[in-house]
């Protein structure tokens, strides 16, 4: 069931009808039932995976909680010397760790099997000459619920959160329907308490949530799917396209990814707002970023934060890297040693991001590209201001900020080549074409209109891209939704109807089209 399908609309109306009639205390049950229905609508066979993972996570979390409760009881009742206390804690940490590792092996194992199973069997077949056939079911949102449950288990192990007693509520956290398809990767400690305080209806919340969902729908159906037609056509046969068309294709692709992913986030955040559940922010106007690290703080924030908390920081503060850092300090400054040591966890984070998209050499390149950029950015972080000062560049001027944003945008666009071309050969063809055969006249002689979008649609696409950017710039200064809410009813309704009819008229849908699935759904 897609978020932009008619069936989903019917589903939502039914949910709201039941939701409004259910007492506040039991509203979470309604959410759980409808989340299960939503999940089951994508295939009953996939339910087994998510249910088994949830059982493992619940059992492990309860077991770890009990271990730590036992430890607390022991530490409270007996009088240990600090040395003994440390020893006992180590014992219990080891116990908890065993449970954690076991749970992680199961849940991450399922994820890995689903993600790389087919490729692994293919590789095995090619190496051994066997013809082993395998059908792997990829459960809906497996990456999202696995990552969130891993975070939850690690937090319990670290004693940052308490384990949830109610299995049903934990299951709801994992498969809460607005976030199960494309995230954001939830933090259960923020999500769980909200299920106990659900209220409905709330007029203001409803209006603002509906506005956000409409804006998301606009981004997905009007902007992303329109740009997608062009991007798919351009990168379908890279040998027949001129360099300048690739440039436009890359720019459109970047806006397509953004409009698609953030559009979905807005739809689900809006829906969840209506239901009274606040979801984590996943995008924060990334195209206004001035540096690469800032871009990653604004793009797919929930994934990046998760990786930072559960991969980057543990690795950076690990015993092994600490030893290496000490050795490095003998050869360079402490600051430099710290930055050099950050390369390994950074590489791990971006390799995971790359492989999270798909398994393959192109995604390894994707990860390495970001590692290099991120590291360079970090290494030269302090040099740039000094250099700018020497060159008399006002780093706070509007022009320089624009330059920085455009530079960041360009670096991100270049990285997208790896995702769009899907093979090394194609990637080199595109790069070569952009460097040696730019052919700018292709942008003016009508060639652009032969890639799925006619003249009117091309012009509209450019207008939409500018509009999207303008909205982000305005949003940086004020919350547009609040501004709209303060306007009089005539202006408000005009805005709402303009949004609705923009989707109806300019949306990409109808019998001639297949409404495209959300891009990030496949990850």
Partner 1 sequence: MKKRHIWLRVVVFCLWGGVLFAVVQEVLTPDWRYPKMDFGPEYMLREFETLDSKDDIQALFVGVSTSEFSIDPMRIYEDAGVATFNLSSPNQPINASSALLKLAFEKVKPKYVFYEVSTLFTGFDAAPYHWLFDSMTLASKAPLASAYAQNYPKEKRVDAFIDAYFPIYQYHERWKELSKVDFQILQEEKNLYRKGNYSGIKVEAATVTVDLMNEIADANYNNTLWKNEYIKGTLQTVIGESPGANGKRLLNTDVPERNIDTLLEMKTLCEENGAELILMKIPQINYPQYDSSWPRLCSDRVKAIAEECGIRYLDLLYDFDCAIDFGTDTNDGGTHLNYLGSIRITSFFTTYLQNILSCSPAYCEDYDEDLPIFDAVCRLEDLSTTLDLIPYLEELSGWEDVTVFFSASDDMMLNLSPESRQALNDFGLQTDFDTLSYNDSFLAIKENGQVVYEASSNQRLVYNGQMRNGIPYTVTSCGWRLGSESKIIINGSNYSQNSRGINIVVYDNVSGLVLDRVSFDTYAGNQRAERTVYTDLREYEEYLMRLDAENGIGV
Closest CA to 314 of 54, 104, 145, 85: 104
Burial of 165 by CB count in 10 Å (0-12 exposed, 13-18 middle, 19+ buried)? exposed
Q: Which residues are near partner 1 by CB under 8 A?
A: 6-7, 203, 454, 456-457, 493, 496-497, 500-501, 504-507, 509-512
Least Å from the CB of residue 214 to partner 1: 12
What residue spans of 442-488 are helical by DSSP H? 455-477, 480-486
Helix/strand/coil for 438:
coil
Residues 6+ positions from 25 with CB-CB distance below 8 Å: none
C-beta closer to partner 1: residue 474 or 500: 500
C-beta closer to partner 1: residue 85 or 492: 492
C-beta closer to partner 1: residue 221 or 279: 221
**Rounded to whole angstroms, how far apart are CA atoms 231 and 351?**
25
Estimate to the nearest angstrom the gap between the alpha carbon of 507 and the chain centroid: 24
C-beta closer to partner 1: residue 243 or 276: 276
Burial of 439 by CB count in 10 Å (0-12 exposed, 13-18 middle, 19+ buried)? middle
C-beta closer to partner 1: residue 467 or 509: 509
DSSP 396: T
The enclosing H or E element of 26 equals none
Least Å from the CB of residue 437 to partner 1: 31
Least Å from the CB of residue 201 to partner 1: 9
**Rounded to whole angstroms, how far apart are CA atoms 505 and 357?**
33
C-beta closer to partner 1: residue 204 or 396: 204
C-beta closer to partner 1: residue 7 or 332: 7
Least Å from the CB of residue 222 to partner 1: 11
Least Å from the CB of residue 9 to partner 1: 11
**Rounded to whole angstroms, how far apart are CA atoms 351 and 434?**
26
Least Å from the CB of residue 278 to partner 1: 22
Least Å from the CB of residue 457 to partner 1: 7
C-beta closer to partner 1: residue 7 or 105: 7
C-beta closer to partner 1: residue 161 or 503: 503
**Rounded to whole angstroms, how far apart are CA atoms 232 and 241?**
12
C-beta closer to partner 1: residue 10 or 474: 10
Residues 452, 456, 460: CA angle, nearest 5 degrees: 95
Q: Which residue has the tokens 């339910």?
A: 47
Least Å from the CB of residue 21 to partner 1: 16
Would you say 465 and 473 are in contact if contact means Cβ atoms under 8 Å apart? no
**Separation in Å, CA 499 to CA 210, 213, 217, 238, 505:** 11, 11, 9, 36, 10
Closest CA to 454 of 229, 271, 286: 229
Least Å from the CB of residue 69 to partner 1: 47
**Rounded to whole angstroms, how far apart are CA atoms 453 and 506?**
13
**Rounded to whole angstroms, how far apart are CA atoms 277 and 194?**
6
Least Å from the CB of residue 511 to partner 1: 5
- Encoded tokens for 198: 């659900």
């Amino acid at each position: 069931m897609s978020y932009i399908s008619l069936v989903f609309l019917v589903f939502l109306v039914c949910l709201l009808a039941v939701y409004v009639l259910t007492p506040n205390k039991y509203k979470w049950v309604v959410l759980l039932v409808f989340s299960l229905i939503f999940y089951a609508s994508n295939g009953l066979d996939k339910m087994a995976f998510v249910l088994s993972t949830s059982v493992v996570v619940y059992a492990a979390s309860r077991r770890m909680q009990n271990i730590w409760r036992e430890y607390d009881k022991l530490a409270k009742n007996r009088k240990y010397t600090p040395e003994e206390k440390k020893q006992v804690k180590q014992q219990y940490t080891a116990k908890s760790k065993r449970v954690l590792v076991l749970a992680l092996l199961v849940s991450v194992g399922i994820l890995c099997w689903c993600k790389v199973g087919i490729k692994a069997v293919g590789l095995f077949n090619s190496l051994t000459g066997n013809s082993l056939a395998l059908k792997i079911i990829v459960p809906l949102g497996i990456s999202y619920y696995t990552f969130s449950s891993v975070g939850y288990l690690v937090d319990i192990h670290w004693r940052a959160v308490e384990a949830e007693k109610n299995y049903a509520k934990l299951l709801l956290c994992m498969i809460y329907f607005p976030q199960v398809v494309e995230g954001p990767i939830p933090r259960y400690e923020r999500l769980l308490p909200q299920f106990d305080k659900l209220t409905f209806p709330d007029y203001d919340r409803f209006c603002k949530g509906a506005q956000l969902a409409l804006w998301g729908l606009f981004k997905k159906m009007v902007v992303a799917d329109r740009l997608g037609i062009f991007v798919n056509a351009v990168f379908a046969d890279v040998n027949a396209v001129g360099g300048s068309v690739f440039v436009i294709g890359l720019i459109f692709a970047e806006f397509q990814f953004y409009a698609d992913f953030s559009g979905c986030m807005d739809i689900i955040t809006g829906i969840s707002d209506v239901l009274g559940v606040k979801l984590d922010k996943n995008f924060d106007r990334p195209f206004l970023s001035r540096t690469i690290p800032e871009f990653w703080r604004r793009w797919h924030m929930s994934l990046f934060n998760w990786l930072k908390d559960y991969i980057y920081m543990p690795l950076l503060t690990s015993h092994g890297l600490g030893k290496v850092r000490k050795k490095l300090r003998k050869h360079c400054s402490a600051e430099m040693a710290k930055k050099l040591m950050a390369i390994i966890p950074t590489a791990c984070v971006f390799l995971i991001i790359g492989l999270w998209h798909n398994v393959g050499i192109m995604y390894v390149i994707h990860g390495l590209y970001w590692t290099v950029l991120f590291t360079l950015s970090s290494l030269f972080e302090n040099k740039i201001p000094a250099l700018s000062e020497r060159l008399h560049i006002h780093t706070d001027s509007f022009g320089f900020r624009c330059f920085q944003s455009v530079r960041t945008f360009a670096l991100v666009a270049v990285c997208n080549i790896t995702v769009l071309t899907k093979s090394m050969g194609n990637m080199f063809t595109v790069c070569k074409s952009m460097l040696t055969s730019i052919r700018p006249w292709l942008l003016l002689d009508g060639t652009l209109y032969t890639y799925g979008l006619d003249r009117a649609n091309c012009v509209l696409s450019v207008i939409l891209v500018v509009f999207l950017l303008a909205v982000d710039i305005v949003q940086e200064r004020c919350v547009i939704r609040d501004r709209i809410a303060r306007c009089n009813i005539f202006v408000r309704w005009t805005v709402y109807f303009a949004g609705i009819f923009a989707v109806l008229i300019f949306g990409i849908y109808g019998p001639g089209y297949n409404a495209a699935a959300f891009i990030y759904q496949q990850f």
